[in-house]
Amino acid sequence: MKVLVISDVHANLTSLNAVLEDAGEFDCVWCLGDLVGYGPDPNECIDFVRSQTNVSCLIGNHDQAALGQIPLSHFNSDARRIAIWTQEALTEKNLDYLRSLPAIITNDKFTLAHGSPRKPTWEYIFESYIAKLNFKAFETDYCLVGHSHLPLAFQHRPKGNSTIPVPIKFGTTMKLSPRMILNPGSVGQPRDLDPRAAYAILDTEKNTWKPRRVEYDVTAVQVRMLQSGLPESQALRLIAGW
């Protein structure tokens, strides 16, 4: 089965459309959370996910903020301002959809969490030490996470009980071997100094992971953000990928 793995779309329809065009054919979508927040297109991005016949989608911390499920004091001033705007912009149907989303999904081989299996919507897995702690929190061969907006991979080696980072090579197919934590990066707001949208293609039969990047019209998104009254600083960061 060919799976389109996306995360942290953050209400950026232009980048999402670029990913869909670049990905080609796929059998299903696994979305790792944060459909909304930061960007100008919250309803349109949720509408896309809702329209898919074979989709598994998680709730992220910005989705929870749009629902009023977590205190906005947890966010910086820009994120609070955007969360309030998003709350007012979302349709009731799309609010209901966000409310329906689980915090974690598990199947035979994969655990899906927005942040981490230990703390599904809040913990960031940036480095090997935190990854090592999280390998104890799931039993499947693999765990897919988002939240950090960084394309990352970690491998746990039973011999020596060590956890190491695995280099990411975009456009190159990676053969998976148990046990690993994988992050496809962010569709709508990359933070690795590369403004291109990030995502991955997972082949569950061949057991492969292919990280990908695709350019999109950042300026068009920035214009919509400013027209919507969203913070200029959040529009500017898109062009630099931070």
DSSP assignment of 146-169 equals -SS-SEEEEEEETTTTEEEE----
pLDDT, tens digit, 9 for 90 and up, residues 184-236: 999 999 999 999 999 999 999 999 999 999 999 999 999 999 999 999 999 99
Any bridge partners for residue 181, and if so which? 143, 154
pLDDT, tens digit, 9 for 90 and up, residues 124-147: 999 999 999 999 999 999 999 999
Are 150 and 192 in contact by the 8 Å Cβ rule? The answer is yes
Smallest Cα–Cα separation from 11: which of 59, 43, 50, 33?
43
Residue in the block written with tokens 């702690």 = 133
Residues 6+ apart with CB under 8 A from 125: 115, 116, 131, 134, 145, 147, 148, 152, 154, 181, 183
Q: How many Å apart are CA 161 and CA 128, to the nearest integer?
A: 12
The CATH number linked to 84 is 3.60.21.10
Whether this prediction's pTM lies above 0.95 is answered by yes
pLDDT at residue 158 is higher than 90? no
Percent above pLDDT 90 for the chain: 95
Domain tally, the chain: 1
Residues 6+ apart with CB under 8 A from 69: none
pLDDT in the model for residue 141: 98
Domain holding 184, by residue range, is 2-240
Q: How many Å apart are CA 68 and CA 148, to the nearest integer?
A: 22
Q: How many Å apart are CA 189 and CA 100, to the nearest integer?
A: 24
User: At 4, is the pLDDT very low, low, confident or very high (cuts 50, 70, 90)?
Assistant: very high
